[in-house]
Amino acid sequence: WPAFADDVDAIIELKKRRNAVVLAHNYQTPEIFHGVADIVGDSLALARKATEVEADVIVLAGVHFMAETAKLLNPSKTVLIPDTGAGCSLADSITPEDVRLLRKTYPGVPIVTYVNTSAAVKAESDICCTSGNARAVVESLGVERVIMLPDEYLAKNIAAETHVKIIAWAGHCEVHERFSADEVRQLRENHPGVVVLAHPECPPEVVAEADFSGSTAAMASYVATRQPPRVVLLTECSMSDNVAADHPGLEFIRPCNLCPHMKRITLGNIRHALETMQHEVTIDPRIAERARLAVERMLSVG
């Protein structure tokens, strides 16, 4: 921690001066997550809590689509992302044209879009979802069939839990697609009794081998309530680090994978963002209006 003290102190001071808050995703490194964040959570919690922010400035310690969601829900506030290159392989896997084509191919079938997409893709959709509410969103529509994009594995994992038929797209998360069912079996052999939690962006055969699957917040809450003595979180590495810091008595087994996009955010560039008020996230108002509607519809689902 001493290595970070200078940046942490400077960020705390700058937050006061700018009337700013830092929203951090669960995949941010512990010095950000535990050191400077005012609000932490999964994508759903960050979207919900973004609507309650009273500060003038939001620094989004996470990836670009999360900053766009915060801006959609707070059009009058300044939203900063410390590194504009913090993208997402899922968001990159689909364009607005792709969505328009899907709508033509499946007329009348509602389009549910994962929040891990650009605002332009959200604008072409009927409703958004996150890993924390995907099933509830799909079932809230009261239809037999939906299109769910762009994460093929999330779509297939939700399809396994619901009676609604799901048409999927072929996008994948570059972090979660690397886990395999063999790896889980090997883990169980090497670490008897280990409880395996998997994010629903993992391939269905990995989720099938796991004891529990849920959003990053659901995984954290599983650990907090069940206190498994030995546990592995099949997700991004910082997630285990952050949850482990809250539960020093539990054994966290790692394999985990790093998200290169999440890791672009550092204490140094959060400090720089607050010093220079860069990089401001802006969304074309014609896109923002329709994209906001899709996010707000999602937030109105219980």
- Phi (first) and psi of residue 90, to 5 degrees: -70, -45
60 lines the binding site for ligand SF4 (CB under 6 A)? no
26 lines the binding site for ligand 13P (CB under 6 A)? yes
Which one of residues 69, 216, 266, 269 is an interface residue with ligand 13P (CB under 6 A)? 216
131 lines the binding site for ligand 13P (CB under 6 A)? yes
Using an 8 Å Cβ cutoff, are 116 and 91 in contact?
yes
157 lines the binding site for ligand SF4 (CB under 6 A)? no
Contacted entry of ligand SF4, ligand 13P, none for residue 89, CB cut-off 5 to 8 Å set by kind: ligand SF4
- Phi (first) and psi of residue 128, to 5 degrees: -95, 170
Which one of residues 116, 118, 242, 266 is an interface residue with ligand 13P (CB under 6 A)? 116
Give how far the C-alpha of residue 81 lies from the chain's centroid of Cα atoms, to the nearest Å: 15
Using an 8 Å Cβ cutoff, are 172 and 153 in contact?
yes
63 lines the binding site for ligand SF4 (CB under 6 A)? yes
Cβ neighbours of residue 104 closer than 8 Å, sequence gap 6 or more? none
**Shortest Å, Cβ 87 to ligand SF4:** 8
Q: Which of helix, strand or coil describes residue 260?
A: coil
Residues paired with 197 in a beta bridge: 212, 233
Using an 8 Å Cβ cutoff, are 196 and 211 in contact?
yes
261 lines the binding site for ligand SF4 (CB under 6 A)? yes
* Interface with ligand SF4 (CB under 6 A): 63, 88-90, 116, 173-175, 201, 236, 259, 261-262
* Interface with ligand 13P (CB under 6 A): 26, 42-44, 116, 130-132, 173, 199, 201, 215-216
